[in-house]
Amino acid sequence: MRVPPDIAIPPGEPLTRITGTMNSENLPGLYLHIPFCRGKCAYCGFYSRTDLSLIPDFLKSLRAEMTLYREAFSRIDTVYLGGGTPSILGASHLEVILDAVRRQFVIADDAEITVELNPGDLTARALRTLRALGVNRLTLGCQSFDDAVLAFLGRRHSAGQCRDAILAVRAAGFDDLGLDLIYGLPAPGGDPGTAFRGWLASLQTALSFQPEHLSCYQLTLEADTPLAATLALSPLSLPDDDLSARYFLTTSERLEAAGYRHYEVSNFACDDDHRARHNRKYWDHTPYLGLGPSAHSFDGTRRWWNPRDFDAWVGALRDGMRPIAGEEILTLDQLRLEALFLGLRTREGIDMEAYRKRYGFDLCAERGDKIAQLAAAGLVRADGYRFSPTRRGLVCADFLARFLS
């Protein structure tokens, strides 16, 4: 089996491990949604509450929810604490949660255990605790190294706090750190050039810390967020498609020049081993269990989601019920479509033979012409076995999926 030249395979690695997408035999991942924040950021559409007195209820319900799924998801190899703001919880709370996880589930020895952190609420003690609890990967929600941008986004930390937090993380001995960054803000004073250069400066600062992982998200307006309301009334606007593409492509070029691999639309890793193992499960149809309000789960054919409502979630668990707001059983067509658009969001792209085996659809035979058209337009690389988006393909991955679906 040949592999496109832009996919590097470390010598000695079995191919199946690298091209492990489509492999339903992967162990599931566990996501824990910590639905608390000190305040709401202007752009964020995730579910969270600011009333911290609910934390004891949350911990109790979370443990109850784990027991409901311990049979179905007995063995896992990634744990991800996201939110919300997991770092809002004290060391003892985190200990309670991770203890419960270890008691209810069998966690693989080499499991990836990630916690999202907010630069504003980090303490050396908390970091020591996390380390002691076996957390081996941290992501830090820096978003920017520009105080004006942080203020615009409604973040409650400064660029200086980002720097301090990174140094503290390193000092605590963590060697797998991811930084989250946001680009594509409305240009203040109507000068898109200034905003663009500001982004590159933030990116450069981020690189100076040599993080193992970077997530660079284009700012997206989520419905019902303060930012959406503000922009609706303001002359400011988000970058148009052409400028967005320039942000995207320049970011990708800069980071790849610095040795990172642009392995998913918004994600970069210093090498293949540092790609986010947990997140990759979402993109290759590996089962995942999501606990906490608003979390989504998937068991291979069925997807369900918890209510975006703390009280409803607690209430259901108090009654011994699965706290489910909705559920769908995916048809084969739906699985095919998902695998297509998810695969096209990754630089690995789609292994057509694996796709045929798993979803019973021969992309090579049925979509060969179209794949060839995309290849001719420079949007994918294809070799008859696999097709994968180029950099220019990634920036229009949604189009690729529509075109091939």
Partner 1 sequence: MKHIRNFSIIAHIDHGKSTLADRLIQYTGVVDARNFQDQILDNMDIERERGITIKSQAIALPYRAADGRDYTLNLIDTPGHVDFTYEVSRSLASCEGVLLLVDAAQGVQAQTLANLYLALENDLAIIPVINKIDLPSADIERVKAQIDSELGLDPETAILCSAKEGTGIESILEAVVRQIPPPVGDPESPLAALIFDAKYDAFRGTVIHCRLFAGTLKAGDVIRFHYNDATYRVEEVGRFRLQREKADALRAGDVGYIIAGVKTVSDVRTGDTITHEDRPCAAPLPGFKEIKPVVFASIYPIASDDYEDLAVSLEKYKLNDGSFVYEKDSSAALGQGFRCGFLGLLHLDVVQERLEREYDLSIILSVPSVRYRFIMKDGASGWVDNPMHYPDPLSIIKSEEPFIRAVMMLPDRYLGTVMKLCMEKRGVNSQMNYLSPGRVELTYEMPLAEVIYDFYDRFKSVTQGYGSFDYDLIDYRESNLVLLDILVNGEKVDALSQIVHRERARARGVQACDRLKDEIPRQMFKIAIQGAIGGEIISRSTISAFRKDVTAKCYGGDISRKRKLLEKQKKGKKRMKMIGNVSIPQSAFLAVLKSDTD
Note the residues at the interface with partner 1 (CB under 8 A).
31, 217-220, 241-242, 244-246, 248, 265-266, 279, 282-283, 288, 290, 294-298, 303, 305, 328, 334, 337-338, 341-342, 345, 373-374, 377, 379, 394-399, 401-403, 405
Angle 43-45-47 (CA atoms, 0-180°, nearest 5)?
Answer: 135
Is residue 320 classed exposed, middle or buried when 0-12, 13-18 and 19+ CB atoms within 10 A define those classes?
exposed
Rounded CA gap, 153 and 6, in Å? 35
Strands 296-298 and 302-305: antiparallel
Rounded CA gap, 356 and 30, in Å? 28
Longest CA–CA span in the chain (Å) reads 59
Min CB(401)–partner 1 separation in Å: 6
Q: Which is nearer to partner 1, 13 or 398 (CB)?
A: 398
Min CB(387)–partner 1 separation in Å: 15
Strands 137-143 and 106-117: parallel
Q: Which is nearer to partner 1, 166 or 265 (CB)?
A: 265
Min CB(46)–partner 1 separation in Å: 8
Q: Which is nearer to partner 1, 122 or 396 (CB)?
A: 396
Rounded CA gap, 219 and 152, in Å? 12
Cis status of the peptide bond prior to 84, with omega within 30 of 0: yes
Q: Which is nearer to partner 1, 3 or 310 (CB)?
A: 310
How many C-beta neighbours within 10 Å does residue 356 have?
A: 16
Q: Which is nearer to partner 1, 161 or 274 (CB)?
A: 274
Min CB(73)–partner 1 separation in Å: 14
Q: Which is nearer to partner 1, 31 or 199 (CB)?
A: 31
Q: Which is nearer to partner 1, 95 or 309 (CB)?
A: 309
Question: Which position has the token pair 């489509």?
Answer: 22
CA distances from 88 to 24, 140, 371 (A): 34, 13, 47
Q: What is the DSSP string of 332-391?
A: HHHHHHHHHHHHTTBTT-EEHHHHHHHHS--HHHHHHHHHHHHHHTTSEEE-SSEEEE-H
Rounded CA gap, 139 and 379, in Å? 31
Q: Which is nearer to partner 1, 227 or 295 (CB)?
A: 295
Min CB(124)–partner 1 separation in Å: 30
Min CB(337)–partner 1 separation in Å: 6
Instruction: Check: CB of residue 218 under 8 Å from CB of residue 248.
Output: yes
Min CB(13)–partner 1 separation in Å: 26
Min CB(15)–partner 1 separation in Å: 25
Instruction: Check: CB of residue 128 under 8 Å from CB of residue 177.
Output: no
Q: Which is nearer to partner 1, 209 or 403 (CB)?
A: 403
Min CB(378)–partner 1 separation in Å: 9
- Strand pairing partners for 79? 30, 113
Min CB(293)–partner 1 separation in Å: 11
Rounded CA gap, 257 and 202, in Å? 16
Q: Which is nearer to partner 1, 305 or 387 (CB)?
A: 305
